[in-house]
Structure 1
Amino acid sequence: MIPFNKTHQTGNEINYMQEVLASGKLAGNGLFTKKCQSWFEERYGFKKTILTTSCTDALEMCAILINIKEGDEVIVPSYTFVSTAIAFVRQGAKIVFADSYADNPNIDADKIESLITAKTKAIVPVHYAGIACDMDKIMEIAKKYQLYVIEDAAQAIDSFYIDKDGVKKALGSIGHLGAFSFHETKNIISGEGGLLTINDEQFIRRAEIIWEKGTNRAEFFRGEVNKYGWVDTGSSFLPSELIAAFLWAQLEQIDVIQAKRIGLWNRYYELLSKLDLKEIQLPQVPDYATNNGHLFYIVTKNIESRNQLIQRMKENGFHAVFHYLSLHNSDYYKEQYDGDELENSDKFTDCLLRLPLFYDLQESAIEQLVENCLNPAFIS
C-alpha cells in the first residue's frame, strides 16, 4: 500500500539529537532553538520568530498577543483545521466564518468586508496547501478597519505571495503575526512543532514573555535584568532542544526537500492535465501565489464520486484521504453559528480528495495511480 504520507529524515536528525543529549541541556531555548529561529529570520525576513511546540500553540500566542477577550469577533475560513478557530475561542472570541472561493479552498477575500462589525478584531487567512490567500486585498481591508491579520501558514513553509508591485513576500511575513506547523505531515518536520512569526515590533517583547510562562526569564538569561519573575500571562509554549535539533537537520536540507516535493506535485498536474477530466477539478494556483508542493488535491463532482475514488485507490494499493470538515457545521459550533450558508466550504468538505505526496514517493507510483485510478474510463 502506498501511504498518504511518509515521514522523511535527512540523516542528521539523530546526530544533532545526540549532541543535545551529550550537552546535558534538554530544555528549550538553547543552541538549536536559537539556530532555527535565526535561520527563519534571515531566510524569510521575519522581524522575530519563536519556536513553539505546535502551530496551535503559535496561534494561541497570537490570540493572547492581540488581547482577544469575551465578545470580540475573529473572521476565520470555515474550511480549515480546528486549531485556526479554537485558539481564539479559548480567549472568548466569537468566530465569524467566511466561505472559500468556488475554485480554491482559501478564504474568499471579496466576502470578508461584509462580515466586519464593530466587534471585529482580527482576520485569520489560512494559506491552504501552501497557496497564498489574496493578501493585498486582505491587508487593505484590515488597514481600513484597523484590524489585525494573523496568517495561518501551517502548510505554507517556503511559499510566497507576489504583491501588486511584483514583489515576492514569504507567507507568514505579511500579516502582523503568523503561525507555521512542523507536524509530521508537513514539508519540514519535527514530529510535532511550530513557529510564531512576528512582523509588528510592538509584539516582540511580550511574545517572549508569554512564551516563557509569563516571565521575563529570557531577558534575565541575556543579562538585561538582574532577576526574573511573573510579569504577564503565558504558558509553556517552547519546545525542547531535542525537537529543535530534529528541525535543524530538516532546515539544512530544505532546498532538496522542496525541489523533490514540487517535482512530484508538477508530475501529478502534468499527467492529470492531459486527461479529459470533466468530473474532476484540479488545484488552482493564482498568479499572485507560488506553490511549495505541500499537497496535491482534486475535487470531485460529489461525495459519492469521492467515496468511489477512495475505494478504487485502496483496491489499487493507494491511500488517499479527504480533509477538513466545515467548522461552521461542526458538532461543537453549529448551534452557535448564525451566518449564511457557506456553499463552497461545504463543497470542499464533501468533494476534496488529497492524493499521496511525500519525499520518498516515486514518479512511477504517481503514473500508476493516474492510469489505474483517475483515468476518465474509471470515473462515474
Structure 2
Amino acid sequence: MIPFNKPFLTGKETVYIQQAVASGKISGDGMFTKKCHQFFEERFGFKKCLLTTSCTDALEMAAILINIQPGDEVIMPSYTFVSTANAFVLRGAKIVFADSEKDTPNMDVTKLESLITPRTKAIVPVHYAGVGCDMDSLMKLAEKYNLFVVEDAAQAIDSWYKGKPLGGIGHLAAFSFHETKNVIAGEGGMLAINDPRFVERAEIIREKGTNRSAFFRGEVDKYGWVDVGSSFLPSEVIAAFLFAQLEHLTDIQDQRKLLWKKYDDAFRAAGIAASHLPFLPEGCYNNAHMYYLVLDSLDQRTAFIDHCKSADIHPVFHYLSLHKSPFYHEKHDGRELVNADFFTDRLVRLPFYYTLSPSDQDFVIARILQFFKKS
C-alpha cells in the first residue's frame, strides 16, 4: 500500500525524549522547549516564539491577544480547516468568509476590501500548501483600516514570500507540527509573535493567565492570576521530539522538494494541462508541503481516487467550504464563493512523504498518467 502520509523519524526523537525525562523537567518550558524557540527566532527572525500543544491552540491564543469580542468580524478564507474559524468563534466573533483565488486555494486578497465593515477586527490569511497569500496587498489593506493580521501558517514551515518568512509578516502567526506537516511532533504547534506589544501578555495567556514565566525568570517574587488564559504549553516530551526534527529541517526540505519536482516534471512532460497542476504565484516560494491535482469535476475526482485505490494508492481530497458547513451555513451572509467550492469538489492530494521511494513514486505517477490518458 502507498498511503497519503507516513511520519518521518530522524532517529534522535527517542534519544532526546529520554534526555528530557532524565532531566526531571518534563512539564514544559524546559531545555528542549527553549532550544525550539531559539531555533525559530534565529533562523526566521520571529520576534518571539512560544510552542503550543497544537496550531489550534496558537490560533486561540492569537484570538485572545487581539481581544476578539462578541460581534467582532474576522475575515478568512472559506477553504480552510475548521480550526482557523473555531479559534475566533470561541471568542464570539462573526466569521466573514472570503473566496479563493481562481488559480490557487488561497483567498483572493483583491476582493477583501468590500468585506470590511466598522466591526472588522482582523484578517486571517491561510497559506495553503505553504504558498504565500498576497501579503503585500493584504498588509497595506490592514494598515489602511487598522486591522490585525494573524497568519495561519500551519502548512508554511520554512516557506517564504518575497524574501520574507511566512509567519513573520503579520502581527501574529500559528504553525502546526501535526504528523502530516513537514516537521512533526505528532501533535504540536507554535505561536510566532512579530508585534512586540503582544510578547508579555502571550506568555501570561499561555500559562493559564498567570505571570508564572516571569516568576521563573526572577522578574517577580511571586506569581498569580493576572489575565485570562489556559494551559497552552506542551510537555518537554513533545518539544524533544520536535527538536530532533528541526535539527534535520534542511535535509527534510531538500528531500521533499525533490519529490515535489519529480511529480511536477513528470506531469508537465506528459502534457497534463496546467489547470490540473499547482500554480505558484510570482514572489512565492514552494516549501514542498504537498503535491495536489485539480480535476475537472467532483465526479472525475471520485473516479480518480477510485482508480488509484484499486492499485492500493491512497490520495485524499481536502477541505470542505466552511461557509457551507452544517455549523455555519445559516450564519453565512449568502454570498456565493465559487472558487472555494471549486477546490472543495476538485482538489486531491497525492501520496507525499520523506520516505516515498523512487519506485513507489514512479508507480503512482504511472497510475495517474494512465487515468488521464483514459480521460
TM-score bracket, shorter-length normalisation: over 0.9
The CA deviation at 1:274 is: 1.2
Taking the aligned partners of 1:99 and 1:350, their CA distance within structure 2 comes to 14
Taking the aligned partners of 2:274 and 2:346, their CA distance within structure 1 comes to 11
Q: Secondary structure at the match of 1:374?
A: helix
* Kept in 1: contact 2:54–2:190 (CA 8 A): yes
* Kept in 1: contact 2:304–2:371 (CA 8 A): no
* Kept in 1: contact 2:260–2:288 (CA 8 A): yes
Provide the residue aligned with 1:152 in structure 2.
152
The CA deviation at 1:278 is: 4.2
Provide the residue aligned with 1:344 in structure 2.
339
Q: Secondary structure at the match of 1:149?
A: strand
The CA deviation at 1:367 is: 2.0
From 359, 363, 368, give the equivalent of 2:358. Answer: 363
Taking the aligned partners of 1:339 and 1:234, their CA distance within structure 2 comes to 35
Provide the residue aligned with 2:78 in structure 1.
78
1:61 corresponds to 2:56: no
The CA deviation at 1:25 is: 1.3
Q: Secondary structure at the match of 1:178?
A: strand
Q: 1:77 to 1:377 in 2, by over 3 A?
A: closer
The number of residues matched between the two structures is 375
Provide the residue aligned with 2:324 in structure 1.
329
From 250, 253, 257, give the equivalent of 1:255. Answer: 250
The CA deviation at 1:21 is: 1.2
Taking the aligned partners of 1:5 and 1:343, their CA distance within structure 2 comes to 29
The CA deviation at 1:277 is: 2.3
Taking the aligned partners of 2:127 and 2:232, their CA distance within structure 1 comes to 23
1:141 corresponds to 2:116: no
1:98 corresponds to 2:103: no
**Structure 2 gap segments, 5+ residues each:** none
The CA deviation at 1:312 is: 0.7
Provide the residue aligned with 2:272 in structure 1.
277
Identity rate, percent? 61
Q: Secondary structure at the match of 1:122?
A: strand
Provide the residue aligned with 1:244 in structure 2.
239
From 218, 233, 239, give the equivalent of 1:223. Answer: 218
Q: Secondary structure at the match of 2:203?
A: helix
1:44 corresponds to 2:44: yes
Amino acid of the structure 2 residue aligned with 1:277: I
1:185 corresponds to 2:185: no
Q: Secondary structure at the match of 2:244?
A: helix
Provide the residue aligned with 1:234 in structure 2.
229
Q: Secondary structure at the match of 2:316?
A: coil
Amino acid of the structure 1 residue aligned with 2:211: N
Q: Deviations for 1:137-174, whole angstroms, at most 9, x for unmatched residues? A: 00000000000000000000000000xxxxx1100000
Amino acid of the structure 2 residue aligned with 1:229: G
**Structure 1 gap segments, 5+ residues each:** 163-167
* Kept in 2: contact 1:276–1:376 (CA 8 A): no
Taking the aligned partners of 2:372 and 2:27, their CA distance within structure 1 comes to 56
From 155, 163, 169, give the equivalent of 2:164. Answer: 169
Provide the residue aligned with 2:312 in structure 1.
317
Taking the aligned partners of 1:249 and 1:350, their CA distance within structure 2 comes to 37
Q: 1:287 to 1:209 in 2, by over 3 A?
A: same
Taking the aligned partners of 1:235 and 1:279, their CA distance within structure 2 comes to 46
Q: 1:309 to 1:17 in 2, by over 3 A?
A: same
Provide the residue aligned with 1:165 in structure 2.
none
Normalization by structure 2: what TM-score?
A: 0.98
Q: Deviations for 1:20-60, whole angstroms, at most 9, x for unmatched residues? A: 11112110111100110011000000000000000000000
Q: Secondary structure at the match of 1:375?
A: helix
Deviating beyond 6 angstroms after TM superposition, the runs of 4 or more aligned structure 1 residues are: none
* Kept in 2: contact 1:41–1:48 (CA 8 A): yes
The CA deviation at 1:5 is: 0.1
Q: Deviations for 1:60-90, whole angstroms, at most 9, x for unmatched residues? A: 0000000000000000100000000000000
Q: 1:377 to 1:216 in 2, by over 3 A?
A: closer
Q: Which piece of structure 1 moves more, 279-288 or 144-153? A: 279-288
1:302 corresponds to 2:303: no
The CA deviation at 1:363 is: 2.6
Taking the aligned partners of 1:132 and 1:215, their CA distance within structure 2 comes to 35
Amino acid of the structure 1 residue aligned with 2:34: K
Amino acid of the structure 2 residue aligned with 1:68: I
Taking the aligned partners of 2:227 and 2:92, their CA distance within structure 1 comes to 18
Taking the aligned partners of 2:116 and 2:329, their CA distance within structure 1 comes to 20
